[in-house]
Amino acid sequence: MYLLISVLIIIASILLILIVLVQNSKGGGLASNFASSNQVMGVRKTADFLEKATWTLAVSLLVLTILAGFAIPRDKGEVSRSAIEEKLERVPSPSALPTFPPATTDDAGDVGEPDEE
């Protein structure tokens, strides 16, 4: 279901991009290249169709994204954990680490090796 909604979102996005590019802007836009289609239907009818198509695609894109949020597959079973969490569990506790014998100091205050007697 999620895959189907994702494909519909991509199709609606591409169509919306194309419709917006075809619309006549203040600078002429790409709509000036399609003057022959405007002569057949009339400028006003073409502008109305493009505006309705834009709003329809925008609303459908909004609805599809909301539906996609609800359709995201969720694993209801075992909760998966990240690799970092698993590594943190395997770290030994500080009390289990080996201890080293304390260093001894000689009469001059220098730290030396432990005396072997």
Summarised one tens digit per residue, pLDDT across range 60-82 is 999 999 999 998 887 665 666 78
- Location of structure tokens 């996005």: 13
The rounded distance, in Å, linking the Cα atoms of 27 and 46 is 17
In this predicted model, which residue has the larger pLDDT, 91 or 53? 53
For residues 2 and 72, the answer to whether their CB atoms sit within 8 Å is yes
User: Is the confidence at residue 18, as pLDDT, over 80?
Assistant: yes
- Length of the chain measured in residues: 117
pLDDT at 85: 83
The rounded distance, in Å, linking the Cα atoms of 107 and 111 is 10
**What residues are paired with 112 via a beta bridge?**
104
Alpha carbon dihedral 68, 70, 74, 77, in 10-degree steps, equals -160
The rounded distance, in Å, linking the Cα atoms of 56 and 68 is 18
Look up the pTM and report it: 0.51
- Location of structure tokens 């309705």: 52
